Structure 1
């Protein structure tokens, strides 16, 4: 019969056999003798102890690290350590050291190779699934036959990835200045965080900080680059698993600094008073914020710079830019006009829209819309 006391230590006794009683008595005397020898040497005995978090959250498809450290009585040597799932005595074996021949051992779980030297019982599980969710128990046994399983279990909860990731970014981004973005998640395995959408960020650098007791087991991936006006409106995404498409998104809002070309172009093109004169006659003055002033030598250059990053979001649309105007060409398929109608609303009412609709004869119908 197995008995578990309040400290989590397992003892074996028998209610019916003399042999088991003698064996229990010998183990007790051996442990007592060891304790007396240790105290006689002036050494304070180290007790059984396991340190691990009570609860850990992770996302499906990711890699999780359940931090764990242990200590065992001085003078004895640990023979094996184990992680069990769902029950501390009869639970499913997840991982064991030395490696267990149990064919049901978890194939994606592991513990540190130097667990005995470093007193490190951290459990790592890769490619998490919903079936990995549950209660996990750590258990150890020394060369004297004494076993200990700790008081508490670790509850592993599988949750959505984006709810676990945290992204920090500066409140204000100014062109020409360094931008530092940090993506963080607790209990993550090193090397699994990724930034996506970095194409064109130059120069760019990534620095990973692995989780530890000092930072509450939070793994962080820091992305740094120099902001450019071309980065304005770009979305960067931090993901935690290779197949993850959602992750945590941050959109860059880049401000031009005081003496930059951006305010100069904007002032030239926006809120422009305009009138027409013919002889001694003047038309009423209108304020314009679209197009470029006609007849001005700098208009084509400034207009081209101002609209350089103006690109259609749909592949069926094309923006054709002229010196002082633009045309949106959109392809209609099966009567679906949603893509080019969206582009018209986004670009403004003064943009000429050229729609192309294929016909059964292979020809195209062209029509203009405001």
Structure 2
């Protein structure tokens, strides 16, 4: 759902940029708390959560390259807001998606630079807010089990995608550059993105379920999932001291991080070659309804990595694979560095208080 330059007029694009910038500032403040520790891990978990947040951004980048067919001549891809929010928290989740969109726009000419604020607002802020609010509500009413977390993640991800489509339509209704009946745009956008939402929900559920199965302590949305162990002392039942994450048998954060990086590299560097070549939901609706009549060439169209291929590499498989690997590496480096800086800022601020 990457909005290109020219879909939305300059004033509304600028306003969306202000909204996105405000959301990023607020998220920076919130992320300092989220990156300060893992669920139930006290204040030392930032050593694990900052790299994990960078990994989540890189993973979202990789999976977004995997367009899957949803209807005749239409494909979809992960938006990632629900996944990021559940794994690392809503504030950090917004920052993860913002990093992904920034890297895609600058390096790969995917999503207009003047539309960056629109894209962050729609694909980052809206998806995270809707998904995490729904996720938390479901977790509160469902039994406190790992299965409940995965079920809630499925529903939250499913709803977040048509919600983002609705948000785009609202922005287009205010600042669209072509005269198209908004009712038709809304029906088309919500219809196709509901189908895409099913794919988003499956990917989110499987990913969250896999991480919860091995390290529930690292999943922000699974905080408090583990019931404290009871010990009988002098005839009375008392809570045992919680085990530290490092004490989880056979499971280390480094192994999880390394496995995630390898998975992202394989998805972006190899599996992406087999992704659907059909236009995604927004591109299809734009072509069918005439939204793209005034689309402008991307400012980074001459980038060596534009359109997810390496310039002057003629082999399509090799070109796309190299671009994917470079993208994962760049997103991982930028994301991890940014989240380490946020965490360090939190500790410096706390030391001065």
Q: Is TM-score (shorter-chain normalized) higher than 0.5?
A: no
User: Max radius of gyration: which structure?
Assistant: 1
Q: Please give the TM-score of this superposition, normalised by the length of structure 1.
A: 0.21
Structure scoring higher RCO (CA < 8 A, sep ≥ 6) equals: 2
More strand by share: 1
Q: Please give the TM-score of this superposition, normalised by the length of structure 2.
A: 0.21
